[in-house]
Chain A
Amino acid sequence: MANTTQFDLVSPERKLVSGPVTAVEIPAAAGDLTAMQGHSPLITTLRPGVLKVSGPDGEQEYVVTGGFAEISGESISVLAETALPKGEVTQGHIDDWVAQAHAAKQNAPEHLTEAATKLLADMVALGTHIGLDPNQPNL
């Protein structure tokens, strides 16, 4: 069996995963990264996306939006603002998130427009990725 490392996925409201895993694919702000045992210590912010956990019990996928990941020698923790098992995400969630990102973009002050646009694009990409209609034909 491959080497495992302790992984925790927590949202403000509950703890979703806590246990040994072999690899975690994290949608980090600067691009996806896969963390395994012995990854160099890293703290990175997250962009909205799908987090893949490969563990002894197979592979699970979670949808996360915002937050950060902390990878240390012994453990990996992801603190996500919202985290849901992929199966629980509905069209309603996507619509909400896209609408929120859209509103944020509209209200964003000058220097934050770029970040807000990126957030919106990420949300839409997330929707498409998990096979739900992002409902946003023209950005």
Chain B
Amino acid sequence: MAANLKNAAAIVGAAESNEIGYPEERGPKVTSLQHHIEAIKNVTDLTGIPISDIEGVFSTGWSQQLAEHLGIRPHYLDTTTVGGCSFQVHVHHALAAIHAGIIDIALVSHGQAGWSYRGAGGGGRPVAGEIDPGTEMTMPYGVFGAPSNYAHAMVRHMHRFGTTAEDFAHVSVVTRQWAMLNPRALMFSKDTNPFGGPITVADVMEARLIAWPLTLFHCCLVTDHGGAVIVARPEIAKSLRTRPVWVAGAGESMGHQNMLEMEDFTATSASRSSAIAYEMAGLGPQDMEMAMIYDSFTITAAMTAEMLGLAPRGKGYTLWKEGHAAPGGRLPINTNGGGLSFNHSGMYGMQLLVEAYRQLSGTAEDGVNGIEGKQTNARTCVVNGTGGTLSTTGTLVLASDE
């Protein structure tokens, strides 16, 4: 049954952008981004709410770019894009988020240069023909896709903490060990793939360079994959034949959209998203019995482990190097083999959820996910997805049904 959201929130101000209509008849044409920023400036001036107090950003696909342009780090991001009614839907979502106590102040924003960029299409999303200034100032510089970006974070981590590429290579070695317990993993064995498990640190270091210091084996796979989960209210969850796994905590945050705006190349917003999730759950990193951490690259997993409080700053890699994250270790991590060794379709976060559910519901032991024999005994799991170029994070604290 839905909670009663009556009067749970109110719209406290409304404003338009400045150059509406046919701006070119008066002066230069206007971008969609400018419409957004003008309207945001106007509504915050009107209400007296500082832009820095905005906690949630709701828009048709713009939320991350708007937050970065404004220099704010919201902890509720919504980009629902369902046509002209999107903004009513945004208000509905904001109402729910406020009712739930996640945020107090939500910004719903719209900007669409329907005339200035007529013919460019876009449906309210950032449109072709407009260039955002972050892209304008970085596209000349020869970075191509994720590895070419993420390597910069690894180099800065090495500089700041004295870590080495060999340290991070252990992440890859351990995910192959997990993959060897999962016949559905691409890297299950040398028979399933020439690069399959087992591999050594030397193998990782000697693999082809993609973007120094990242070799091919520091990088996740690119495969086909799909997944789905169902979330239901407790009464339903308890009535089903499947075992529930409880969402004890959830949090989200962002650091930037464009890596140019990454303030600290050795840190992600997972420190904030996990703090929210842990607090909600009344649990901390010391209570986690396993972890599912998006391992787009070895650096991603190791650095995120630090952000989640699972290891001290600069020491995330030790969880893998010392075997704690490995099969039989005290804190199993990425038990399906991870994006490095299981599967990775491009947006891997769903597979984190599928595996966490299987482990915590006890269904990873019956062959559905691997060879006979239980993989972990974990009752709690922290799940962290990372999006973009170490940009955005979502953290869940999941708990098995006691």
The yes or no verdict on A and B being binding partners is no
A interface list, Cβ under 8 A from B: none
